Structure 1
Amino acid sequence: MADDEIDHMFAGEPGGLGDDFGEDFGDDELIDDFDVERAAAAASHEPESDILDPSDPRAARPHARPSEGPRITSPYITKFEKARVIGTRALQISMNAPITIPLDGETDPLIIAEKELYQKTIPFTIRRYLPDGSYEDWKIQELIVD
């Protein structure tokens, strides 16, 4: 193709690739009333609980159940659980959650959360999933923290 032919294709001539999309382009009506859509969904008699989001992490384990019998997993807190607990608790402290230990002049939420973990006063429960789909719940007070 010659350069002249390419220039004409983008110039808006009939049969070209110009920006003449017609007069009605972009005049689509937007539905601003979500109640109309919700009423239509309710009229179709589909229960809302059947709608699953594939990105929901709970959908990966729909049949999780508590483990029966004695505990299988280690009583030691892992470095990943420790990091998650300290980070989550530090976020809570930074958002003015009540502190469960006396402060000795500390203002850093990470240091306060770490002290709470070592004194085992954090009111968290760690859920450990097992390969068979069951899980074990451990309170921070029950775990051994190094």
Structure 2
Amino acid sequence: MSDYEDNDDYGYDDYAEPDAMEMNEEVEAVEDQVMEQQDQQQQETIQILDAMNPNAQIGTAVEPQENKVKMTTPYMTKYERARVLGTRALQISLNAPVMVDLDGESDPLVIAMKELREKKIPLIVRRFLPDGTYEDWHVRELISE
């Protein structure tokens, strides 16, 4: 004999599968709400952009412009140096032409460091400024070390 009666369901109803049509209607209703929210957010964004610049056209991005007068320091930062050396070493490892005479060097990083010392690296460093403009500095113009 068991402690429980066979016909006792403890007050719970049997689980009934939801109708497929009801599920589709609920999904469509949720999708409609999400689409309305996205449309509303997009309209709010457009209004904010229009308020910031009334002459701007919708869908056009503001391109940064080159600053003709150099305002930043002519010294190469350690981050720029690392990026320039890494980029140039990668180029050399992929058989780019070397701009200095080799004295038995085979390591691309050593060759890139020699090119930097002699200011022969054919790269340009672009520095972005807070006002949306940028400055282009040739590596030969920058003071390194």
Q: Deviations over 1:12-38 (max 9, x none)?
A: xx96xxxxxxxxxxxxxxxxxxxxxxx
Q: Does residue 65 of structure 1 match 2:50?
A: no
Counterparts of 1:132 and 1:72, CA distance in 2: 12
Give the drift of 1:63: 2.6
- Name the structure 2 match of 1:88: 87
Give the counterpart letter for 1:139 in structure 2. H
Q: Secondary structure at the match of 2:134?
A: strand
Query: What is the correspondence of 1:13-92 to structure 2 with a 5 Å cutoff?
Result: 62-68=62-68, 70-92=69-91
Structure 1: which 5+ residue stretches go unaligned? 1-13, 16-49, 53-58
Counterparts of 1:51 and 1:87, CA distance in 2: 36
Q: Deviations over 1:57-107 (max 9, x none)?
A: xx7xx3300114x31100000000000000000000001000000001110
- Name the structure 2 match of 1:110: 109
- The change in CA–CA distance for 1:133 and 1:51 in structure 2 (over 3 A counts) is closer
Give the counterpart letter for 2:129 in structure 1. L
- Higher-helix-fraction structure: 2
Structure 2: which 5+ residue stretches go unaligned? 1-15, 18-57
Aligned residues between the structures: 92
Q: Does residue 127 of structure 1 match 2:141?
A: no
User: RMSD over aligned Cα, in angstroms?
Assistant: 2.3
Give the counterpart letter for 2:107 in structure 1. D
TM-score (norm 1): 0.57
Aligned-residue sequence identity (percent) comes to 54
Q: Secondary structure at the match of 1:71?
A: coil
TM-score (norm 2): 0.57
Give the drift of 1:141: 1.0
Counterparts of 1:51 and 1:137, CA distance in 2: 27
